Homo-oligomer: A and B are copies of this chain.
Amino acid sequence: MYPLAEGLFAPRNQWYVAAWSSEVTREPMERWILDLPVAFYRTEAGEAVAVGGRCPHRHFPLGKSRLVGDAIECGYHGFTFDRTGKCVRIPSQAQVPAVCRIPSYPLVERWQWLWIWMGEPDKADPSRIPDHTELGLLDPAYAASGGVYYAVPGRYTLMHDNLLDLSHLAYLHKTTIASDGIAEAEEVRDEGPGWLRSTRKMPDVPCAPIFAQFLGHSGRVDRAFGMTWHLPSLHAGFDHFYEVAAEPCTGRFLGGIRIFHAITPGRRHDAHYFFGMARTFAKEDPAVGEAFVNGLRVTLDEDIVATREIENMLGAHAQMPQEILVRGDTHCVRGRRLLEALIRAEQPAPP
């Protein structure tokens, strides 16, 4: 499925951000992930749970059902499933056949995020979730703010295309966060197991007033910024400021921010988007974090609109239109290839 090769949708043996912690409560919630309905809720002890969102009896949505203790009771005929997905009660009979069960999905709560694993259960290794301390989300050197969620009206891969080509900042976000010189700065690309990174350095540039204020620094700075895609879900960016030095970005670290975009496949033509930030400054003042996050909402809206427009454009064509790739797409295309490789690795080898 475009922009991936025909027949490829998304890797399943992977961790994805499924929800903000605050979204999952004692009231069940439905969300489609990897083209499957999932019901989320919390146990009485407060633990977040994810199970299949369709009652196997009559297909009623369990995410629109109710809890009985730590189990979910189908809102139609009362079939009840425990948090492992086992059916523990069929009201009309004493015994429950073993075949009557729903999937249960490993769910890990990290920072404000719930990470889900919808692949083969025995491969669900939480150590494969990007380290939230390294990311800056759980590092005391940073104060993190989250809570922004978008139901994206387009296939999830369009959001990755967006994030892997930051040259769109100067155009899509022309009136919001575009800044001079970014397109001219040399892009350094590198990658490792499970990640892909693009960084740029801008030596001896003026410091934007909003940062100057918080960094307690007036005048010019060395600036380094970039983004790492921890495949397949999380793009973790940084924007760091240093005192100007002969060797760029080796001077005293003045501070900076980190930016987080988690993208999760929904149905074939929609997706989920979770956005957060972390900052080195004003860490005791949550209002600063909120102000930064809210200040970006107009920009995030622009990305959502572009994704919707492209999804509509693709859907309006009877035949998939041709795409032209240029050198600036190297990073984006590399990302697509890595994503395809993850999907293909899950498929059975040909006989």
Contact = CB atoms under 8 A, between A and B. Distances in A.
A328 B93 contact: yes
A172 interface: yes
A310 B60 contact: yes
Contacts of A324: 56-57, 97, 99-100
Of A57, A76, A306, most buried by chain B (CB within 10 Å of CB) is A76
Contact of A77 (B37, B90, B93, B165): B165
Nearest to A101: B324
A92 interface: yes
Contact of A326 (B59, B93, B171): B93
Given A56-B323, A93-B327, 18 more contacts: A35-B318, A37-B313, A54-B313, A57-B323, A58-B323, A59-B314, A60-B310, A61-B309, A76-B172, A76-B306, A78-B171, A92-B167, A92-B327, A93-B328, A97-B324, A99-B324, A100-B324, A268-B318
A291 interface: no
A159 to B, nearest CB: 12
A22 interface: no
Given A57-B323, A321-B59, A91 B167 contact: yes
Given A75-B171, A172-B76, A313-B54, A60 B306 contact: yes
A168 interface: yes
Contact of A73 (B64, B75, B91, B171): B171
Interface of A: 32, 35, 37, 54, 56-61, 64, 73-78, 90-93, 97, 99-100, 161, 165, 167-168, 170-172, 183, 267-268, 306, 309-310, 313-314, 316, 318, 321-329
Q: How many copies, total?
A: 3
25 contacts: A35-B318, A54-B313, A56-B321, A56-B322, A56-B323, A57-B324, A57-B325, A58-B310, A59-B313, A59-B321, A61-B309, A64-B309, A73-B171, A74-B171, A75-B171, A76-B172, A77-B167, A77-B168, A77-B171, A77-B328, A78-B171, A90-B326, A93-B326, A100-B324, A100-B326
B76 A168 contact: yes
A180 to B, nearest CB: 13
Contacts of A60: 306, 309-310, 313
Nearest to A302: B75
A266 to B, nearest CB: 11
Given A57-B323, A77-B165, A170-B78, A316 B37 contact: yes
A267 B316 CA distance: 8
